[in-house]
């Protein structure tokens, strides 16, 4: 898998997926001539060796992982707050107690079953 193809910085993570996985920024050639004449690596890593190397690299950057976790968590919380604000008229809190029997009726399914089949 080539993580260097994923260098876009994501707003939720505030970094690229390559940086989130490896902890380093990718080195990409900016010159088209350099792109054409890049040499192949001397040896290819097996998947298990690559995963082991990446795991070791991730252990070295705990503070980056903490910041990444905080960014993703704050984005999820913000998305939840925005969802609640957007759907405030629809969301109802009935305060059901544990053990209460609740019956629900899905009207959308009934509407679709009542329609005639058409060719």
Q: How far is CA 105 from CA 1, 53, 76, 108, 111, in A?
A: 47, 53, 30, 9, 12
What are the residue boundaries of the structural domains of the chain, listed by start? 3-114
Are residues 57 and 45 in contact, defined by beta-carbon separation less than 8 angstroms? no
pTM: 0.39
Are residues 55 and 34 in contact, defined by beta-carbon separation less than 8 angstroms? no
C-alpha 4: how far from its chain's center?
A: 17
As averages over each run of 10 residues, the pLDDT of the chain (119 residues) reads 59 74 66 52 71 73 77 89 92 85 75 60
Contacts of 54 (CB under 8 A, 6+ apart): 21, 22
């Amino acid at each position: 898998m080539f993580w260097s193809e994923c260098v876009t910085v994501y707003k939720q993570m505030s970094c690229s997926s390559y940086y989130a996985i490896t902890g380093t920024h990718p080195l990409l050639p900016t010159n088209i001539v350099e792109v054409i004449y890049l040499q192949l690596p001397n040896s290819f890593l097996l998947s298990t060796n690559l995963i082991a190397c990446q795991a070791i690299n991730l252990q070295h950057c705990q503070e980056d992982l903490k910041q990444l976790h905080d960014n993703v968590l704050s984005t999820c919380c913000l998305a939840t707050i925005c969802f609640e604000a957007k759907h405030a008229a629809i969301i109802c809190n009935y305060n059901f107690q544990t053990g209460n029997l609740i019956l629900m009726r899905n009207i959308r399914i009934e509407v679709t079953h009542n329609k005639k089949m058409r060719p």
